[in-house]
Amino acid sequence: MRGLSLLGSGLIVAAFSSGVSGCKSDAPPVGTDTSESEDEAGSTAGPEATSGDVSEGGSEGSGSQGSSSGDGDGDGDTGSVEEPLRFIVMGDGGEGNDTQFRVAEAVEMVCAARGCEFALYLGDNFYDSGVEGVTDMQFLTKFEEPYADLDFPFYVTLGNHDYGGFIGGVFANEWEKANAQISYTDYSDKWTLPGKWYQFKWKNARFISLDTARMMFDHETDQQRDWISQITAGASEPWRIAFGHHPYISNGSHGNAGNYEGIPWPDTVSGGDVKDFMDQELCYRVDVYFAGHDHTRQWLEPTCGTEFIVSGAAAKTTGLSRRDDNPVYFEDDSEAGFFWVEIDGDTFTGAFFDLDGNLDFERSFTK
């Protein structure tokens, strides 16, 4: 375990049972406050990924757990780009409700049939206002327990509800609340969040995790911009895949960046800074961008040289508004579910499944 800075003691909701699958045995005891200052959090990235909000952000992360290099299977070899890469994408799962458990069971079933190496987890990890520390009981009830039977890493990003706020996550800018989720990486065999934004490589793909909640307030946006521009300029992998919480385009109730909620101003509501960032740093620079925020499943027709996919129905659904009338290959607001991906050479195949494991839509495209 990497060391954490102890800043004294405070009230913690509960400690984890040592027998829970996915929790490391060296989790802190009840009453231990392991929260870090915002500057400290994420300063030591794990072998799985490399944090971008610290000085070593330009170095390379690995796709294999417990190994500084490899092809994602943990045996330390470099593998071949011809070997298919398979993973799950889902977000907005932090409810701990029956739907989250049912979606997890469907993921297990699909992964057993098709194969999965990891999951991208797209934010709003803990409704309604994030967690208070690494021993917050919500890590158990809204992550470890629902996904106990999924034996692969989750690469996590942060959503607006993870930053506190009020009225359903509005004005969620309690930035220090990220620290507990970052620190929890040290205590879980499954949870991976080495920094507020980070990158990792797995087989023939470069993955880039963004903190779009901070962009909503134009908080540290220039730092993220400088970081990602270096990555996209220097990445040699055939596939570049970005993921974050807020969508660039969406037919859900939140809608398109720059016009979230149908309100073009101010930027803290409309997502104007999110749109500007993605216009400049994602369009024509990454192949695919995954988002949640809208609790729907959508595969939108590509725009600005990038495929945009919304998979925010890991625990609940909300209605489609189609305010911005984006053309789509598939959209659904009636069933919770998830997205499965296979990258085989220069071919990307994606499939939406519902909470019972039924295949709803599948499409492939070639670079």
Domain CATH number, residue 154: 3.60.21.10
Q: Residue 23: its pLDDT value, please?
A: 65
Give a yes or no: residue 6 inside a domain.
no
Give a yes or no: residue 181 inside a domain.
yes
Question: Mapping DSSP to helix (H, G, I), strand (E, B) and coil, where does residue 222 land?
Answer: helix
Radius of gyration for the alpha carbons in the chain, expressed in angstroms and rounded:
19
39 touches 175 (CB < 8 A): no
Give a yes or no: residue 257 inside a domain.
yes
Quote the domain boundaries for residue 344. Answer: 50-366
For residue 110, how far is the Cα from the chain centroid?
A: 20
Among candidate residues 246, 360, 242, the one with its CA nearest the CA of residue 292: 246
Number of domains comprising the chain:
1
pLDDT in tens, the chain (367 residues): 333 222 222 223 333 443 445 666 555 433 333 344 444 333 333 334 888 764 233 333 434 333 223 344 444 444 444 799 999 999 999 999 999 999 999 999 999 999 999 999 999 999 999 999 999 999 999 999 999 999 999 999 999 999 997 655 567 899 999 999 999 999 999 999 999 999 999 999 999 999 999 999 999 999 999 999 999 999 999 999 999 999 999 999 999 999 998 998 999 999 999 999 999 999 999 999 999 999 999 999 999 999 999 999 999 999 999 999 999 999 999 999 999 999 999 999 999 999 999 999 999 999 9
Give a yes or no: residue 2 inside a domain.
no
Give a yes or no: residue 26 inside a domain.
no
Predicted TM-score (pTM) of the model is 0.84
Q: Residue 280: its pLDDT value, please?
A: 98
Give a yes or no: residue 42 inside a domain.
no
Give a yes or no: residue 342 inside a domain.
yes
- Report cis status (omega within 30 of 0) of the bond before 84: no
Q: Residue 267: its pLDDT value, please?
A: 93
Give a yes or no: residue 209 inside a domain.
yes
